[in-house]
Amino acid sequence: MTPKTATSDPMATLDALARGEAASESLLKKIRAKEARVAVMGLGYVGLPLVRLFASKGFRVMACDVDQGKVDSLNKGRSYIKSVPSETIAKHLASGQLTATSDFKNLGKADAIFVCVPTPLTAEGKPDVSSIRATAKSIGAALRKGQLVILESTSYPGTTREIMKPELEKRGLKCGSDFFLAFSPEREDPGNKKFTMEQIPKIVGGIDDLSRAAAAALYREAVSHVLEVSSAEAAEAAKLLENIYRCVNIALVNELKMCFDRMDIDVWEVIGAAATKPFGFQAFFPGPGLGGHCIPIDPFYLSWKAREFQFNTRFIDLAGELNIQMPFYVLSKLEAALKSRGKKLQGARILLLGLAYKKDIDDPRESPAFKLLELLEQKGADVVYNDPHIPAFPSMRHYKHLKVKNVALTESVLGSVDATVIVTDHSEYDYEAIVKHSPLVIDTRNACGGLGRWKDKIVRA
């Protein structure tokens, strides 16, 4: 990480501090009066809820994205994400609190700019921060004095200081005196009805004290609790820790699932029993693989960065590798189940239930369903799917070659396939009817756990 260096001119330092304090005070007054205009760059599953949040708190919001389709949809009052109703978008448009644009030259009109762009992995498994870099360049081209920039995209410790800051300073403005820069990790959990974005605490770390204070003040106008940490790097690391914690524990129960399967022990029963302990244990559950934009990706961001410091994160890497193998395990269980019934996977008709990465949401990002689909097609299976939340097969970055038909979940469809594979345990599904009318069910989520009468047709995977 870039070390902090002192200037050789004390007067210049004092002048910069004075400019920074004046600019900070002016920005804080705007924020407290809700006169600050907010821009959100990246209108996906993080950015669009953030747009809704700040618009609902009385701020004027500029929604920005390179995807003209998203911009056009919002300007017509239509949402493309289930958790943000179209009625809400239309209301904020009508009130003048919301505008949407793909022209980043308009960013100079904003007082605060949130960056919520994708941070995937490359084909080699390395961090792909190209969207962050490109967005920083776009902001830098329009940057003016007094603006606050906050990165919310998950990345390795040092991204805000090493990538965002240099790009924003290229035209001569200085962070901490002319503009302010902070990191606050997104903590959006699609489908979580218990904790809304407003209720989830925000962690805030700045490049400097004034940047941290400005970002914290802005978030305090929208969320119930803000935790200020010592640096942008600490905030970046906190986000990675949250998701690595889940990745490692999910890998553990996935490994136990495979181990207990050989011992003829029900892993879900074991987890349920262990969870009765009132301290020292938190239940995690196995599945067909990791999904979502965070848990399958974030651990590898830290692993990559750690190598810069001659440190190998063996524990994290092992967990990631184990979770990646889970679709292969599901495939092996399906293949073995078909073989025991005198059938081959090649030419078999397979119905996959669920493309979303978890139940009751419309988010397919990094869902293990796509890897499983790819493996099934490579084996020569004829695959169809059903997902009430994803009626049209989405275009996926790593699976553009896949084209799978969505079929209605009828008795005739269930009876016509050789196996039904439950990938996502949506609440809408009638699991008893699914098992009753399917010749074979591969259950990766314990969705059929209470259907003992059909146990001869159910294979857990």
Q: Which residues are catalytic?
A: 294
Going by the DSSP 8-state scheme, the letter that residue 61 receives in this structure is: E
CA angle 433, 437, 443 (to 5 degrees): 70
6 CB-contact burial (10 Å; exposed 0-12 / middle 13-18 / buried 19+):
exposed
Residue 40: count other Cβ atoms within 10 Å of its Cβ. 29
Identify whether the C-beta of residue 389 lies closer than 8 Å to the C-beta of residue 426: yes
Instruction: Name the residue with tokens 């994803």.
Output: 390
Give the Cα separation of 2 and 157 in Å (integer): 11
Helix (H, G, I), strand (E, B) or coil at 422: strand
Residue 46: how many other CB atoms lie within 10 Å: 23
150 with 202: CB under 8 angstroms?
no
CB 388 within 8 A of CB 360: no
Going edge to edge, which strands form the sheet with 405-406?
405-406, 382-386, 349-353, 419-422, 441-443, 458-460
**Residue that is written with structure tokens 């929604």 in the block:** 63
The answer to whether 297 touches 240, Cβ cutoff 8 Å, is no
**What CA–CA distance (Å, rounded) separates 169 from 179?**
9
Phi, psi of 133, rounded to the nearest 5 degrees: -65, -45
Q: Can you tell me the distance from the alpha carbon of 370 to that of 365, in angstroms, rounded to the nearest whole number?
A: 9
Question: CB-based contacts of 404: which residues, under 8 Å, 6+ apart?
Answer: 352, 373, 383, 384, 385, 393
What gap in Å lies between CA 400 and CA 403, rounded to an integer? 8
The answer to whether residues 353 and 423 touch, using CB atoms and an 8 Å cutoff, is: yes
Determine contact, residues 378/345, Cβ cutoff 8 Å.
Answer: no
Q: Report how far residue 79's alpha carbon sits from residue 189's, in angstroms, rounded to the nearest whole number.
A: 18
